[in-house]
Amino acid sequence: MENFIRNVDAFSKAIGHCFGWTVLVLTAGTCYEVFMRYVMNDPTSWAFDMSYMFYGALFLMSGAYALAADAHVRGDFIYRKWKPENQAKVDLVLYFIFYFPGVLALVFSGWSYGMESMRISEVSVNSPVGVPVWPLKMIIPLAGLTLLLQGAAEVCRCLVTIRDKKWPSRGDDVVELEVALQEQYGNKKESASS
């Protein structure tokens, strides 16, 4: 079970990092649009469509990565005081009551929505260029599948926690600057007192 969790976490991390590169494309496209609009007085006809399509893809495909990294917002003022096995039991129940029905709806509804969009070769109504939007809509069921897979890993993580009475490691990845500085400062402080 731990191997399954690690493999799915690694897959979600890879997908999240891959789609994270869209931030650079968004930044470059926005800078180009600003330059063309305000310096050259010749705005592009594709920049708005590009921005919402890339941001939509980034948002959709980063969900499983955020779940793998335990980065979703949680109102845990009570939850965090519980023992890990109690947290895992509550999480397990909530995954089956709320998470999986929502994700399955995303997969099945997204599939029919994306297929219909592809069938009619749907284009954006926001620009005269007619940028195709069906590729973005086909990402919806794909994002649902990645969330479904990561949800299965989270259920396994809950079962391991109930068994072992502690949460398994989520691995190392990007660390917030504040946390990194606190760890670095704490390590220097400990070594100075030794």
- Is the pLDDT at 129 greater than 90, yes or no? no
Query: How open is the CA angle 123-127-129, to the nearest 5 degrees?
Result: 70
Encode pLDDT of 60-106 as tens digits: 999 999 999 888 877 778 888 899 999 999 999 999 999 999 999 99
Per-residue pLDDT at 182: 80
Contact 90, 99 (CB under 8 A): no
Element (H, E) at 108: helix 100-119
CA separation for the pair 12, 20 (Å, rounded): 12
Q: Among 88-97, 109-118, 125-134, 182-191, which is the least confidently predicted range?
A: 182-191
Instruction: Give the integer Cα–Cα distance in Å for 117 and 31.
Output: 30
Spatial contact of 154 and 91, defined as CB atoms under 8 Å apart: yes
Could you tell me the pLDDT band of residue 188, with boundaries at 50, 70 and 90? low
| Residue among 14, 145, 24 at smallest CA distance from 68 | 14
User: Does the reported pTM lie above 0.85?
Assistant: no
pLDDT of residue 125: 83
